[in-house]
């Protein structure tokens, strides 16, 4: 009695003290009381204490059941200690405690959360060898794990096999399939599965609808996305933050900022609180439309409402200010990131470096490039291209080519933009022969020169009086199917 009271009131040390006293005094300790303490310890996140208490139970004269073991395994899995959980299960088998379907599913879920789906599949094999039939939870859990790894083909095979075998399936099963086909852009198949689940009497939930709404938004079919959104409400399935954010993003991609704004206001009226992702979606939309004032207003509103901006929020605004030529505001935002302890990423530095390069401030761009490397933020192709372009614009071609070399050593393959920047730089320096060499090199690498590159070289050759070479390139461009414009 006292043992249970202590456990219920989160007095864990006292409860364990009573357990030890009862054991020493020869009192019978009921497994049910121990289970109460194990559950309480797990709920409070006291996993080490939960584990060590279970060990005490095993060493004492307590009837240990699979339920007690599963509680501890679940706690370990939730903390990411899946291997330790598996070791415990295997050890308990040697002590006569056999796992059940719930135990196996708990372990499978633990491996899937960690992205170790192949290990989860091994557990399923062991489960079947022990004559336990995988249930709908087993299949859905592994399917979810495969989805996170984008192993969509395996998920489809997995779940369709389960359905064909006549095994029970539920809304989660169908939602996973709808989500997969929506993600890969096969909305026709996603819709068929959606209709099939309704025929089988499985009622779609918010997750199912969200997958379809998001899928249709991604392919630009806002009419169908909106119809499904309205259908949700009519059938009593309440749209949530994911539903609204998907639709807002869809309208913004279609440049319908007014409808996106209306939806944002509607969700607030209906008690759906926008989160960081919702604000980011709308802020990015306003930035892309060049409306920095409204983007900034939303930024201030989210802070006022206690929604913390993340690096994506700052990146959108920094990029917007640079595109508007407002270096000062972009710089102030970067300083704000530093003060607030938000970790700048490659996108942040790339936007800043590109902005300073476009303004001709190579010193600041170079300083930021060195700073990001010092802080362990790895430059990507976009970062290198920004600085190469900056060097090219001021005629620092040795530095531009050296950086291209560093870029390749670091495993970043030059793209069309890299060559375009180098070619423009060489032409600005009057080095048409070098520009032609670069053109030949990029073609050898399988990169297709665009109209901008051809136009620049043809123009440069013409200015230098190399009409024959210019005409040869012009004909080459036409043969490649690139249509010239009036400026040639």
Q: Are 421 and 388 in contact (CB under 8 A)?
A: yes
Query: What phi and psi values does residue 419 have, to the nearest 5 degrees?
Result: -65, -40
Rounded CA gap, 432 and 6, in Å?
Answer: 85
Extended beta strands in 170-304, E state: none
pTM: 0.69
| pLDDT tens readout for residues 359-389 | 889 999 999 999 999 999 999 999 999 999 9
Give the pLDDT confidence score for residue 8 in this predicted structure.
55
| pLDDT tens readout for residues 261-273 | 999 999 999 999 9
pLDDT at residue 43 above 90? no
**Residue 465 pLDDT class (50, 70, 90 cuts):** confident
> Lowest mean pLDDT: which of 173-177, 306-310, 319-323, 409-413?
173-177
Rounded CA gap, 230 and 234, in Å?
Answer: 6
pLDDT at residue 166 above 80? no
Give the containing element (helix H, strand E) for 358.
Answer: helix 346-358
| Mean pLDDT of the residues in the chain | 87
| pLDDT tens readout for residues 273-282 | 999 999 999 9
Higher per-residue pLDDT: 289 or 180: 289
- Reduced to 3 states (helix: H, G, I; strand: E, B; else coil), residue 47 is helix
Give the containing element (helix H, strand E) for 4.
Answer: helix 2-8
Share of the chain above pLDDT 90, in %: 48
* Residue 3 token pair: 């043992």
Give the pLDDT confidence score for residue 23 in this predicted structure.
60
CA nearest to 158, candidates 189, 117, 127, 101: 117
Give the pLDDT confidence score for residue 438 in this predicted structure.
93
End-to-end distance of the chain based on CA atoms, in angstroms? 93
Angle at 104 between CA 99 and CA 105, to 5 degrees: 140
> Lowest mean pLDDT: which of 27-36, 62-71, 206-215, 319-328?
27-36
Look-up: residue for tokens 């440049």?
Answer: 255
Longest dimension (CA), the chain: 107
The residues, any chain, with a CB within 8 Å of residue 144's CB and separated by 6 or more, are 112, 176
Give the pLDDT confidence score for residue 267 in this predicted structure.
93
Q: Are 232 and 221 in contact (CB under 8 A)?
A: no
């Amino acid at each position: 009695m006292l043992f249970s009271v202590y456990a219920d009131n989160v007095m864990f040390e006292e409860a364990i003290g009573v357990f030890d006293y009862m054991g020493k005094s020869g009192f019978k300790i009921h497994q049910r009381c121990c289970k109460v303490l194990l559950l309480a310890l797990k709920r409070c996140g006291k996993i080490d204490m939960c584990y060590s208490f279970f060990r005490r139970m095993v060493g004492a004269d307590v009837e240990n059941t699979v339920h007690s073991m599963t509680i501890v395994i679940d706690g370990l899995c939730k903390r990411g200690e899946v291997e330790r959980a598996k070791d415990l299960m295997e050890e308990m088998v040697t002590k006569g405690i056999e796992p059940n379907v719930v135990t196996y599913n708990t372990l499978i879920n633990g491996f899937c959360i960690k992205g170790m789906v192949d290990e989860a599949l091994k557990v399923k094999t062991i489960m079947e060898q022990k004559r336990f039939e995988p249930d709908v939870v087993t299949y859905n859990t592994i399917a979810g794990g495969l989805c996170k790894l984008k192993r969509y083909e395996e998920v489809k095979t997995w779940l369709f096999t389960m359905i064909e075998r006549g095994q029970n399936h539920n809304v989660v099963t169908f939602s996973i399939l709808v989500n997969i086909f929506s993600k890969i852009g096969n909305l026709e198949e996603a819709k068929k599965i959606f209709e099939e689940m309704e025929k089988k009497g499985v009622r779609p939930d918010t997750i199912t609808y969200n997958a379809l709404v998001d899928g249709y938004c991604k392919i630009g079919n806002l009419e169908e996305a909106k119809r499904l959104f309205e259908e949700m409400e009519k059938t009593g399935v309440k749209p949530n933050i994911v539903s609204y954010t998907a639709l807002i993003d869809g309208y913004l991609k279609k440049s319908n900022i007014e409808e996106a704004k209306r939806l944002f206001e509607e969700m607030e009226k209906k008690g759906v609180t926008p989160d960081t992702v919702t604000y980011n979606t709308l802020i990015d939309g306003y930035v892309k439309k060049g409306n920095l004032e409204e983007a900034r207003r939303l930024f201030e509103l989210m802070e006022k409402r206690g929604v913390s901006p993340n690096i994506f929020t700052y990146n959108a605004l920094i990029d917007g200010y640079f595109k508007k030529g407002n270096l000062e505001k972009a710089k102030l935002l970067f300083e704000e990131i530093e003060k607030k302890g938000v970790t700048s990423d490659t996108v942040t530095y790339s936007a800043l470096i590109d902005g300073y390069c476009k303004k001709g401030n190579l010193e600041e761009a170079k300083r930021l490039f060195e700073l990001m490397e010092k802080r362990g933020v790895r430059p990507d192709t976009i970062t290198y291209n920004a600085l190469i372009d900056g060097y090219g614009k001021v005629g620092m071609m040795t530095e531009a080519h050296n950086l291209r070399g560093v870029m390749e050593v670091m495993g970043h393959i030059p793209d069309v933009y890299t060559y375009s920047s180098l070619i423009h730089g060489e032409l600005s320096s009057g080095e048409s022969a070098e520009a032609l060499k670069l053109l030949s090199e990029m073609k050898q690498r399988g990169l297709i020169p665009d109209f901008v590159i051809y136009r620049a070289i043809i123009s440069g050759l013409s200015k230098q009086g190399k009409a024959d070479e210019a005409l040869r390139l012009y004909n080459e461009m036409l043969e490649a199917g690139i249509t010239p414009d009036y400026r040639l």
